[in-house]
């Protein structure tokens, strides 16, 4: 990432300080003695934040947000509201999309965010109890790990008033479990780094909205589902999910070609996700376009399969990736984290999923693992899982 961003100065925690150019030269340019620096001009296109993509399907890219985009994020998120902010827990690093683009809105709220040097389920549960956290946000993996932790039942979580999950797919069983065991309203959010703001459910929506979908377009956001030619797909059909608003990125840092490819003609951002919109306007995700595989001429979307298999009572977590097959071209492999000591067999897993999935979508191999590998953004590292298949 340093080769892309080319920073003048990088400061790291601890004893490590890496300097791309001489520190004295950098500070000489910035230093103002016995005076205050002049105020910045009101420039809506001044670069402010550079947020890197998670790199789950390729090399991370720097996503640029200027004053213009950050103002739009704040307007969509909080509007003219001031004060009343909750006590929250930072679930991601400060370099993540949320902290980088929502700072102005969070400051308006006037709440308190508690930081952790390293997120763990045990530390998060303890922080909720110690600090009276009222708003719990996190990626689904983190909420699932908190629910599975042995200290969950003995921890005082009565301060929590609401939960929001985003940054990854949430299975119906996880949504139901989180809502029931925390005993509070729950909403889900969906976007991508390039779009900043996307879709979501509300706390007062019917329970099935958060269980089955990622909600409707947020105010000020236009949601579209397109085919390979950028034409709208038919009602209920799966296509490429695109988002348009005043908050979408200014572009990729130092990459004009990738920037041009990321936008449709009307200025919508291609999220890289596949999905469909139901007759109620709710978006249902089908997975990443680059994760889809073809078995015997039929498209298989891993996220659809995972959502069904995750309901199995003996499974704590599951991810499906493809491996080459001489006959079918590609077949699905299920990596399973068992909820108990004994994991389900492949036969029982296929039997469980057969009532809701076509036969060609069912996994044809099973690997039992202690945990699913995660990226730096705490998303399932599918490239690492695929690498395990090729090395085994």
Q: For residue range 111-134, what is the model confidence (pLDDT) as tens digits?
A: 899 998 888 999 999 999 999 999
- Predicted pLDDT at 1: 43
CB 115 within 8 A of CB 127: no
Residue 301, pLDDT > 90, answer no
Residue 35, pLDDT > 70, answer yes
Between CA 146 and CA 156 the distance in angstroms is: 13
Between CA 75 and CA 372 the distance in angstroms is: 37
Mean pLDDT, rounded, of the chain: 88
CB 129 within 8 A of CB 146: no
Residue 351, pLDDT > 60, answer yes
Residue 36, pLDDT > 90, answer no
Cβ partners under 8 Å of residue 336, min gap 6:
309, 315, 317, 318, 343, 344, 349, 366, 367, 368, 369
Between CA 382 and CA 302 the distance in angstroms is: 11
Residue 54, pLDDT > 60, answer yes
Domain with CATH 3.30.300.30 in the chain: 293-391
- Predicted pLDDT at 171: 83
- Predicted pLDDT at 339: 86
Domain spanning 293-391, CATH class:
alpha beta
Residue 85, pLDDT > 90, answer no
Domain with CATH 3.40.50.12780 in the chain: 47-286
Note the CATH number of domain 47-286.
3.40.50.12780
Between CA 73 and CA 148 the distance in angstroms is: 34
Over residues 169-192, mean pLDDT: 92
Residue 16, pLDDT > 60, answer no
């Amino acid at each position: 990432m340093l080769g892309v961003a080319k920073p003048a100065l990088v400061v790291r925690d601890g004893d490590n300080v890496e300097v791309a150019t001489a520190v004295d030269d950098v500070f000489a340019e910035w230093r103002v003695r016995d005076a205050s620096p002049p105020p910045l001009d009101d420039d809506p296109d001044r670069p402010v934040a550079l947020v890197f993509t998670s790199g789950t399907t390729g090399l991370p890219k720097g996503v640029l947000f200027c004053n213009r985009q950050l103002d739009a994020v704040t307007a969509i998120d909080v509007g003219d509201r001031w004060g009343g902010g909750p006590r929250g827990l930072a679930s991601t690093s400060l370099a993540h999309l949320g902290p980088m683009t929502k700072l102005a809105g969070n400051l308006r709220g006037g709440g308190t965010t508690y930081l952790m040097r390293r997120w763990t389920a045990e530390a998060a549960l303890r922080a909720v109890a110690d600090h009276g956290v009222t708003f719990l946000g996190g990626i689904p993996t983190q909420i699932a790990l908190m629910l599975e932790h042995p200290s969950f039942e003995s921890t005082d979580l009565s301060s929590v008033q609401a939960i929001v999950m985003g940054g990854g797919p949430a299975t119906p069983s996880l949504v139901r479990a989180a809502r029931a065991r925390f005993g509070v309203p729950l909403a889900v959010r969906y976007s991508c780094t390039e779009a900043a703001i996307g879709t979501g459910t509300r706390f007062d929506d019917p329970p099935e909205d958060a269980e089955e979908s990622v909600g409707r377009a947020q105010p000020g956001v236009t949601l579209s589902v397109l085919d390979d030619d950028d034409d709208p797909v038919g009602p209920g059909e799966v296509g490429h999910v695109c988002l348009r608003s005043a908050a979408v990125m200014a572009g990729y840092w130092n990459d004009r070609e990738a920037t041009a490819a990321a936008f449709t003609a009307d200025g919508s951002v291609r999220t890289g996700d596949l999905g469909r919109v139901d007759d109620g306007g709710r978006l249902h995700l089908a997975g990443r376009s680059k994760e889809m595989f073809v078995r015997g001429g039929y498209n298989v979307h891993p996220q659809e399969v995972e959502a069904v298999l995750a309901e199995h009572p003996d499974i704590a977590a599951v991810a499906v990736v493809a491996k080459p097959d001489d006959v079918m071209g590609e077949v699905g492999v299920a990596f399973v984290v068992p909820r108990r000591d004994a994991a389900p067999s492949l036969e029982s897993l296929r039997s469980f999923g057969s009532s809701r999935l076509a036969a060609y979508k069912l996994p044809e191999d099973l690997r039992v693992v202690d945990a699913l590998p995660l990226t730096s953004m705490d998303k399932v590292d599918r490239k690492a899982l695929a690498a395990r298949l090729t090395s085994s």
